Amino acid sequence: MNYGGKNNHLMSDINVTPFVDVMLVLLIIFMVTTPMMVQGVNVSLPETTSEPLSSTKELLVITIDSNNKVYINDYQVTIDFLQEKLIKIFKGRSDREVYLRADKEIPYGMVVRVMSEIKGAGVERLGMVTEPVIYKNKRKELKS
């Protein structure tokens, strides 16, 4: 094959247009499906009248749902491996601060057991997450 007139050189240019088209289609697919993949843990929090905390850093939240399932942020773990997971998480962190969210219907003993596992992992500060009474009343009004 002779290309380019009298020169005997082969042309070795790659046509990137199909590659760019495929990448744009994949980008659009991921942009559309990513928001659908966000899931949370549904917990009915106890009510309190305290002020909300403001924080700019990423928080580590341990959640206990109404079925006694334990989550680190949104990832489910068994209570037997909770302490081990927290030790691994805190290995690279300087601050050892955890917030505990627990459904108001679960037994107190379950909350104490989880708190014990958290403290056993070397957590220095353990905060309890509650839902303000005012916020809950506003949420009820929005549903009606």
Residue 135 has a pLDDT of 54
pLDDT (tens digit, 9 = 90+) per residue, 31-67?
888 776 655 556 666 666 655 555 556 778 898 988 8
| pLDDT band of 24, cuts 50, 70, 90 | very high
SS3 content of the chain, % helix, strand, coil (to 5): 40, 15, 45
Position 23 confidence tier, pLDDT thresholds 50, 70, 90: very high
How many residues are listed for the chain in this entry? Answer: 144
Task: State the pLDDT at residue 91.
Answer: 85
Ordered by start, the domain boundaries in the chain are 47-143
pTM for this structure? Answer: 0.54
Question: Which CATH fold topology does 47-143 show?
Answer: Nucleotidyltransferase; domain 5 (3.30.420)
Contact 53, 128 (CB under 8 A): no
